[in-house]
Every structure is written in structure tokens, then in C-alpha cells.
Amino acid sequence: MILRTFGWSLAVTAAGLAYAAWQWGWEAFGIVLILSILEISLSFDNAVVNAGILKKMNAFWQKVFLTIGIMVAVFGMRLVFPVLIVAISAKVGPVEAVELAIDNPDRYEDLVTDAHPAIAAFGGMFLLMIFLDFVFEDRDVKWLGRLERPLARLGRIDMLSVCVALIVLLVTAMTFATHAHVSTGHADKAATVLLSGVAGLITYLVVGGLSGYFEDRLEEEEEREHETGEGKGKEKAGAGGKPVSAAGLAGKAAFFLFLYLEVLDASFSFDGVIGAFAITNHIFWMTLGLGIGAMYVRSLTVYLVRQGTLDDYVYLEHGAHYAIGALAAILLVTIQHQISEIITGLIGVLLIAASFLSSVRRNKALAAEEDVSRAPVPV
């Protein structure tokens, strides 16, 4: 099971490291390896959240996520995205941006650093909304009950997540953004942060709203079929008299869930891409190292889904969402202050480890209760 799930990741790791050593030498080998470990440590919470969404999708869309999705993750976010940021910042074409990355890597790094406030605001707001919607929802299973119960009661207020996120964005724009960290020192990026943060919020509301809408439509369709006793293969007339099948609705729901997953993965990758410049400004070393890490995140997502880990360890999803909240806060703080990627990675790993241990203790307690209930009653 482990070899089948992680086989491609292991193969890509071996090929990538061998190519780095052959093409650029042992220094490149070491840096690519470090970047791979960095990406995995930063994105473990991403895998847990992805697994919670991926298990709702059918086998076809899971394969799409693992094929087209990995291409977007590796080449889109780890190679094309930094180039586009530089192209927009320097007002040059993509080809010129690649040439700049190869011929003048220091200037390339400066341009990406200058774009960091906008990137951090967009990603930070998107991740913050994920965290807020999670903690404001009333759930049957609660990890930190004393915190989650009052937050769930507050969550009954309509649009509370959006209000809190906008307040956080305004505070960020008036504090961190006025002395944003750029290549030349510090600059006032309040307007840029506000615009990018609102764009991140809108992206979350649109993509998340559409995926939720079609998912609800699918559930309603399945409930109606169950109540009327009709088979899944039958079609029902939709708007305009055209037949709408349950499979079609599943496709729409899965499509928008796929888009949601891609935007989520992009938001998680922001800190890894930016943090990689602390190790190297060689564009191809970064793409190779971060791409290898992204492969393991995908494999770990599949492993969690196939093993039913989230069902067995019910607090893992809580820990991952708290890690998302921490990452959102860190991204916003890094608009002004530099924070080591080691700290970012450790916070996520510690929160998930704590939620895993709590899940283990819960499972042992439930097993002990079942043993007691099954014990024969003395006569």
C-alpha cells in the first residue's frame, strides 16, 4: 500500500536528485533535497485538508486532481507563478522574465520580494477564511471544546467570517503594510495589500460558494431519488426542459471542488515559494526541490483518503485547520517582518501532532468504554 501510493514520489525524488547532481553538481543535490524537505514540512497540513475534500470526489476527479492537479502544482505554482510575478512586477514578457531568472538571479529575487506583500495578502486572506469558516461551524466532534463551543455559538451570526476577515485585513493594511518588507528596505504597501486581500476574499467566496452550491444540489438530487425510489441512472428534467442526471451534478460539484483544491494548494504554496529564496535564487533548483515536495503532499493526500485516516483520527482535521489559521497569520505578519520557514513548518507539524495524539487517546478511551460495556455482569 505504501509503495503503491508513494511509488511515483520516490521515483521522482531519485530522478530529480540524480539530475541535479549530474547537471549542476553536489551543491545543487543538497539544496534540492533541503527544498524538498522544506516543502513537505510546510505542506503537511495541506495534505490533511486536501484529503478531507478529496474523499468527497468520485474516482475520476480524484485522478484528475492527481494528474492535472500535480502538473499545476509543480509547474504552475513552482515555476510559472514566480515567473509571472516577476513579469508583472518588472513589466516584461514571460520569456524576458525567465532570462532574467537565469542571467540575473539577484534581480529576479528582488522582484519576487517586492511582490511578496500582495502575495501574502491574497494567500493570507484565502487561508484565513478557510480557518474562520471551520471554527465558526458547529461540529459534533470538538477537539478544544472550551474554545470551539463559544466560537460555534458566535458562528450563528450571518457573514461573521467575512466581517472578521475584513477587520483583520484593515488592521493589517494600517499596520504591517505601511512598513512592508521589500528589496530596498521598507515601503508603504497599504493599497496593494488591501486590493490583494479583497481579491483573495472574493476568490474564496466565489470558488467555495460554487462548490458548496453544486454539492448541495447533488445531495438534494440523491435525497429525492431515495425518497421516490428512482434509480441513479434515471434523468430528471432541469431548467429549459433539458435532462439533468445525478452524474452530471456530481461532475459540476467535483469540478468546483477541484478548482477549490487548486486555489487552496496555491495559497499553501505561497510561503514555500517565497521561503525558498532564503535558500537559493536558482529558479530551476527551486522548481525541482519544491516540485518533489509537492509530489509527496499529493501522495500523502491519497494515502490519508485510502486509509480512512481522517475517520479513524477525528481530530486531525481540527489540527490542520488550526495550522491553516497560524499560517494565515504568519503570512500577514511577513508583510513587514521576516519569519523563518522553520518556525512556520514547526507550528504546523506540532499542531497536527497534538491533534493526532489527542485522537489516539480518544480512540483508546472509546475502546476501553466498549470493553467495559461488553464485560459480563456478575450475578
On the question of pLDDT at 248 being above 80, the answer is: no
For residue 182, list its beta bridge partners: 185
State the pLDDT at residue 89. 66
On the question of pLDDT at 72 being above 70, the answer is: yes
Q: Output the average pLDDT for the chain.
A: 79
322: left (phi over 0), alpha (psi -120 to 50) or beta: alpha
Dig out the grid coordinates for 243 from the structure: 435532462
Phi first, then psi, for residue 93 (nearest 5°) are -75, 165
Q: Tell me: the pLDDT tens digits for 180-233?
A: 988 888 899 999 999 999 998 998 888 777 777 766 766 666 677 667 755 444
For residue 181, list its beta bridge partners: 186
State the pLDDT at residue 42. 67
On the question of pLDDT at 324 being above 70, the answer is: yes
| Domain coordinates in residue numbering, the chain | 2-369
Percent of the chain with pLDDT over 70: 83
State the pLDDT at residue 110. 83
State the pLDDT at residue 247. 38
The CA angle 133-155-129, to the nearest 5 degrees, is: 20
Query: Which residue reads 536528485 in cell numbers?
Result: 17
State the pLDDT at residue 274. 63
CA–CA dist 369, 64 (Å, integer): 42
pLDDT band at 235 (very low <50, low <70, confident <90, very high): very low
Q: Tell me: the pLDDT tens digits for 146-192?
A: 999 999 999 899 899 999 999 999 999 999 999 998 888 889 999 99
Average pLDDT over residues 47-66: 79
State the pLDDT at residue 239. 38
pLDDT band at 236 (very low <50, low <70, confident <90, very high): very low
State the pLDDT at residue 109. 79
CA–CA dist 207, 260 (Å, integer): 6
State the pLDDT at residue 230. 52
pLDDT band at 242 (very low <50, low <70, confident <90, very high): very low
Pick from 10-14, 48-52, 304-308 the range whose average pLDDT is largest: 10-14
Q: Tell me: the pLDDT tens digits for 86-121?
A: 777 667 777 888 888 788 888 877 887 888 888 889
Q: Tell me: the pLDDT tens digits for 265-310?
A: 776 676 667 666 666 767 788 888 888 888 888 888 888 887 877 7
> Buried b vs exposed e over 69-106: b needs ≥16 C-beta within 10 Å?
bbebbbebbbbbbbbebbbebbeeeeeebbebbeeeee
State the pLDDT at residue 160. 93
Identity of residue 235 = E
State the pLDDT at residue 258. 79
pLDDT band at 234 (very low <50, low <70, confident <90, very high): very low
State the pLDDT at residue 339. 83
Segment holding 181, helix H or strand E? strand 180-182
